[in-house]
Amino acid sequence: MNASYSTIQVSPLSPALGAEIDGIDIAAGVGDDQFAELRQAFVDYSVIFLRDQDITEDQHIAFAERWGAINVNRFFQPVATHPRIAEVRKEPHQKANIGSSWHTDHSYDGLPALGSILYAREVPSVGGDTLFASMYAAYDALSDGLKRMLSTLKAEHSSRHAFGAGAYAGTDTEDLGGRLGNTAAATQDAVHPVVIRHPLSGRPALYVNGDFTVRFEGWTKEESQPLLDYLYAHARQNEFTCRFRWRRGSMAIWDNPATHHCALNDYHGERRLMHRITIEGEPLAAFA
């Protein structure tokens, strides 16, 4: 990892991934040199965290646009005054949270999201942490034989089962009310390599996830599921992860092709309100 930063202070959170960044004040402005180092830290650590940011919705959007084009989420409730920002919200009376299973954002898109920028506007007194896992580390720890086999495979990803008309069968739709919807828009299907060459780092990363991957291309779902389940369990091993405790004004910026994440649902009876902007990505190439 790159240790030569002159305009920011970088404090790693774990050996696998994650770093807290000091010296950034988004509201006051981030110069080009400082932004270049921030982007390098994003490449080096896969997820970076900023504390004590006091920003408006417009400042959140302007900061996100420096990273790339904004991908507007189809299924989350948008902020009423700023529809390019998605709400990730849980009210005190609601039981389910959003993002409680390990996943990577927008893998069902033909151009999967490069990054997500999540900003904490209201957090519980305790709980509501987010876990992140490195898909570089997960790939590196596989056996050589499994790496060789996976390098020949592609996988199908879809939004249909996750956000479509049948996605919420058996769930309390009242509990999800006002947070998720637009089921008719869940028509996205995409095929990506199982082992990708990361577009920024050039490193190999494992690219399947439990929320959106359906099966290996050319395999049945029944044939695919045992191996997929193994890879999901492998990828979330403790030594590949870091954990972030939120405070009001905290921001996380994570690399979707290089990470999985999981939002803990352990703060019942309290409100948690986050604002998320997703950054458009590019086609993913196989690592060969």
Q: Give me the residue spans of the domains in the chain.
A: 9-286
Active-site residue 103, yes or no?
yes
Side-chain half-sphere exposure of 64, counting CA atoms within 13 A:
32
* Residue 288 confidence (pLDDT): 82
pLDDT of amino acid 4: 83
10-residue mean pLDDT profile of the chain (288 residues): values are: 83 98 98 98 98 98 98 92 96 92 96 97 98 98 98 96 79 69 88 98 98 98 98 98 98 98 97 98 94
Question: Residue 166 class from Cβ within 10 Å (0-12 exposed, 13-18 middle, 19+ buried)?
Answer: exposed
The catalytic position among 60, 74, 105, 215 is 105
- State yes or no: is 106 an active-site residue: no
CATH topology of domain 9-286: Double-stranded beta-helix (3.60.130)
What does the block give as tokens for 48?
A: 């970076």
Q: Which of 179, 192, 261, 272 is catalytic?
A: 261
Which member of 103, 106, 192, 260 is catalytic?
103
Q: Tell me how far CA of residue 258 lies from CA of 37, 97, 107, 204, 240, in angstroms.
A: 19, 23, 12, 9, 12
